[in-house]
Structure 1
Amino acid sequence: MRAVIAVALLVGLYVLTLAALAGIVLVNVLFFVNDRPIALAWSAVVGAMLAFALLSGLFTIAGGSDDEVRGVPVDEQDEPELWALVRRLAAEVGTRPPDSIFVVPEANAAVSQRTRLLGLVATTRRMYVGAPLLACLTERQLSFVLAHELGHYSNRDTRLLGVVVAGRVALIRMLTKLNNRSWYHAVVGVMYAYYAKLYFAVTASLSRRQELAADATATRIAGTEAAVSSLRELPVVADAWTLFHDRHFRPAWEAGFLPTTIFEAFAGLRGSPELRSYLDEIRQNPPERVLSPYDSHPPLPERIAAVAALAVPNRGPDRPAGALLADNGAVMDRTLVSELVEELGVKQRVDWATLSHAAAQATQVDRSRRLVRVGGGSLGAVLDTLDDGGLASLLRTDLRPGSGTSGPRVRREYARGLLIGELTALVELTLADQHRARWESDWLGTTTFHGPDLTAEIEEATDDRGSTAGLRAALAGLRVDQVPTR
Structure 2
Amino acid sequence: MGATLRALRALVLLLGFYLLSLVLLAALVGVDVLVFSWGHGALTLKVGIITVLLAAPVVSGMFMLRTPKGEDPHGILVTDADEPRLWALVRELAAASGTRAPARILLTGEVNASVSENPRLLGLLPGRRTLALGIPLLIGLTEAQVRSVLAHEFGHFTGGDTRLSALVVRGRVQIARVIGQFHERADGKVAADRARQERASAKRVAKGKKAKQVDTAGVGATYRTMARIYTAYGKLYLRASLSTARGQEYAADLAAARIAGRDATASALREIPVLSASHDFYLDSYATLGLQAQMLPPRGEFFGGFGRLLTAREPEVAGLRSELPEEPAGPYDSHPPIAERVRRIEALPTDGRADEAKEAALALLTDPARTLAALEDAVLVDELLTYPRAAGWQDLLDASMAAGLSTAQTPLHKALAEYTGQPATLSALLGVIDDGRLWRVAERLPLTQEATAAKGRAFREFVRPALQRSLRTMVLAEFSSRSLLHWEFSWTRPASVRLPGWGSQTADDSPEAALEAALEAAVADHPDTEPLRALLPPAIQNV
Asked if these proteins are the same fold (TM beyond 0.5), I'd say yes
**Residues 45 and 135 of structure 1: is their aligned pair in 2 closer, same or farther, counting only changes over 3 Å?**
farther
What's the CA shift string for 1:229-257, capped at 9, x where partnerless?
21222122222212211222234334423
**Residues 183 and 238 of structure 1: is their aligned pair in 2 closer, same or farther, counting only changes over 3 Å?**
same
**CA offset at residue 97 of structure 1?**
3.0
Q: Which residues in structure 2 correspond to 1:9-408 (within 5 Å)? A: 9-28=13-32, 30-31=34-35, 34-35=39-40, 37=42, 40-41=45-46, 44=49, 47-48=52-53, 50-54=54-58, 57-58=61-62, 63-64=66-67, 66-76=69-79, 77-154=81-158, 157=159, 159=160, 161-162=161-162, 164-170=164-170, 183-184=183-184, 187=224, 190-260=228-298, 261-272=301-312, 275-289=313-327, 294-308=332-346, 309=348, 311-312=350-351, 314=353, 318-335=358-375, 338-361=379-402, 364=405, 368-373=409-414, 374-375=416-417, 376-387=423-434, 391=438, 392-393=440-441, 395-400=443-448, 406-408=453-455
**CA offset at residue 131 of structure 1?**
1.6
What's the CA shift string for 1:170-200, capped at 9, x where partnerless?
5555666677777337846543332232233
Tell which deviates more after alignment, 430-439 or 239-248.
Answer: 430-439
**CA offset at residue 222 of structure 1?**
1.9
1:438–1:450 CA contact under 8 A, matched in 2? yes
Q: 1:430 aligns with which of 455, 478, 489?
A: 478
Q: 1:454 aligns with which of 501, 515, 520?
A: 515
Distance 1:179 1:382 in 2: 56
Distance 1:83 1:223 in 2: 20
**Residues 21 and 227 of structure 1: is their aligned pair in 2 closer, same or farther, counting only changes over 3 Å?**
same
The one-letter code matched in structure 1 to 2:397 is S
**CA offset at residue 352 of structure 1?**
1.8
Distance 1:174 1:365 in 2: 51
* Structure number with larger C-alpha Rg: 2
Distance 1:393 1:123 in 2: 69
1:72–1:335 CA contact under 8 A, matched in 2? yes
2:149–2:256 CA contact under 8 A, matched in 1? yes
1:175–1:189 CA contact under 8 A, matched in 2? no
TM-score (norm 1): 0.82
2:467–2:523 CA contact under 8 A, matched in 1? yes
The one-letter code matched in structure 1 to 2:90 is V
**CA offset at residue 485 of structure 1?**
2.0
The one-letter code matched in structure 2 to 1:69 is D
SS in 1 for 2:335: coil
**CA offset at residue 52 of structure 1?**
4.8
**CA offset at residue 216 of structure 1?**
2.2
Distance 1:411 1:16 in 2: 62
**Residues 464 and 216 of structure 1: is their aligned pair in 2 closer, same or farther, counting only changes over 3 Å?**
closer
What's the CA shift string for 1:132-172, capped at 9, x where partnerless?
10111122221221221122122xx2x5x545555554555
Distance 2:493 2:40 in 1: 69
Tell which deviates more after alignment, 121-130 or 314-323.
Answer: 314-323
**CA offset at residue 121 of structure 1?**
4.1
2:488–2:495 CA contact under 8 A, matched in 1? yes
Distance 1:72 1:44 in 2: 49
The one-letter code matched in structure 1 to 2:389 is Q
**Residues 320 and 292 of structure 1: is their aligned pair in 2 closer, same or farther, counting only changes over 3 Å?**
closer
TM-score (norm 2): 0.74
Task: Determine the structure 1 residue equivalent to 2:536.
Answer: 475
What's the CA shift string for 1:41-60, capped at 9, x where partnerless?
47636853x54544565566
**Residues 454 and 292 of structure 1: is their aligned pair in 2 closer, same or farther, counting only changes over 3 Å?**
closer
The one-letter code matched in structure 1 to 2:496 is T
Task: Determine the structure 1 residue equivalent to 2:193.
Answer: none
SS in 1 for 2:127: strand
What's the CA shift string for 1:452-477, capped at 9, x where partnerless?
3233443444457535455334314x
Q: Which runs of 5+ in 1 are unaligned?
A: none
1:361–1:439 CA contact under 8 A, matched in 2? no
1:114–1:125 CA contact under 8 A, matched in 2? yes
**Residues 39 and 5 of structure 1: is their aligned pair in 2 closer, same or farther, counting only changes over 3 Å?**
same
**CA offset at residue 262 of structure 1?**
3.0
Measured on the aligned residues, the alpha-carbon RMSD in Å equals: 3.7
**CA offset at residue 10 of structure 1?**
2.0
1:379–1:430 CA contact under 8 A, matched in 2? yes
SS in 2 for 1:326: coil
Distance 2:380 2:55 in 1: 35
**CA offset at residue 5 of structure 1?**
3.6
Task: Determine the structure 1 residue equivalent to 2:190.
Answer: none
Distance 2:372 2:22 in 1: 48
2:82–2:366 CA contact under 8 A, matched in 1? yes
Q: 1:440 aligns with which of 484, 488, 496?
A: 488
SS in 2 for 1:35: coil
Distance 1:386 1:31 in 2: 78
Distance 1:36 1:86 in 2: 71
> How many pairs were matched up?
473
**Residues 303 and 262 of structure 1: is their aligned pair in 2 closer, same or farther, counting only changes over 3 Å?**
same
Distance 1:305 1:36 in 2: 70
**CA offset at residue 31 of structure 1?**
4.9
